[in-house]
Amino acid sequence: MKPLQRKYEALKKILREAYFEKEHAEVSEQWQVNAMRRIRNLGPVQLEPSFFTLFEQFVWRLTPATCLLIIIGAIIFLKLGFFPNYDVLTLFINDTEELSLAQLF
Amino acid sequence: MQNHPSRPSDSEIIRRIIDGDVNSFEYLLNKYQDHVLRIVKKHIPYNEVEETAHNVFVRAYQALPGFKEQGSFKQWLSAITVRTCYDFWRKQYRSRELPMSDLSERHRDWLEKKMSSESDLSFSEESRAKEAGELLDWALSKLSAEDRMVIELVYLEGLSVKEASGLLGWSVSNVKVRSFRSRKKLKTLLTGVISP
């Protein structure tokens, strides 16, 4: 085995041991009491999913359809030649007496 | 494993909790706290262990109606624990609260000595455990939340790709690809430390 590879294997062993060493850290004696307090504060388990959960699930399910609609809409607008900026500019150029920027102020 | 006649089974306790008996959750908490804490301690910094373990039990409690009795409760709880740890790291990386310290000279010196030492003493018997822990934290902090979880589960913990994918809720191929890439990243990082 090459020296660098051997060093790497040794380092791997050190890191694995350090990883398992973390298991021995202590937690406070109050930990369980605090956990149970948090659970009691939540009250009985909710069997019906909340409105927010249902809404979230519904929104995500509609995402592909929404993306598809946006793409189809964009293609249709491009095919029809709908350019709102160009239309507004044409309006200004052709009808300057009726509609001018001064009227806005 | 057989259930003791006087001890209620997990399914029975879960049924009681769903029926509104919140205090019955204490039985599950007592039974599985060591298991959950053992997982959390390995994945999360020490000062965040208690809060994260609380979050695990809160998530498990809220998700109890969705528990399918096809697998064991312990397995289900392990998956919730690992995913809570993953969420912790995702949040940390997003808020950029992660300490991105570089390896100090002290660590490099220690590593050099450790590498050249022929001693076969087990690590826990040695006094410099702190340096190894800090080196591990440094290496993992250089990886993304996803890579970190995969490295910890597959590379350090020694779980199979299938087991890790079950815990993380990712596809087997995703874990396999991530495992390969993250291992490569880690090797590049560590080789940079040990090469002269």
Q: Do A15 and B132 touch (CB under 8 A)?
A: yes
Q: Do A21 and B133 touch (CB under 8 A)?
A: yes
Distance CA A89, CA B124 (A): 78
Question: In the prediction, which pLDDT does A96 show?
Answer: 58
Contact B67, B73 (CB under 8 A): yes
Q: Do A18 and B38 touch (CB under 8 A)?
A: no
Probe site for chain B from A6, A8, A37 (most B CB atoms < 10 A): A8
Question: In the prediction, which pLDDT does B124 show?
Answer: 46
Provide the percentage of residues in chain B whose pLDDT is more than 70.
Answer: 79
Give DSSP secondary structure letters for B154-195.
Answer: IIIS---HHHHHHHHT--HHHHHHHHHHHHHHHHHHHHHHH-
ipTM score: 0.78
Question: In the prediction, which pLDDT does B120 show?
Answer: 47
**Ranges of chain A whose pLDDT falls below 70:** 1-2, 49-50, 82-83, 91-92, 95-105
Question: Which of chain A's residues have a Cβ under 8 Å away from the Cβ of B191?
Answer: 4, 8
User: Which residue on chain B is closest to A14 by alpha carbon?
Assistant: B132
Does the model's pTM come out above 0.80?
no
Distance CA A33, CA B24 (A): 14
Probe site for chain B from A42, A45, A46, A54 (most B CB atoms < 10 A): A45
Kindly state whether A76 is in contact with chain B, defined as any CB-CB distance less than 8 angstroms.
Answer: no
Contact B161, B179 (CB under 8 A): yes
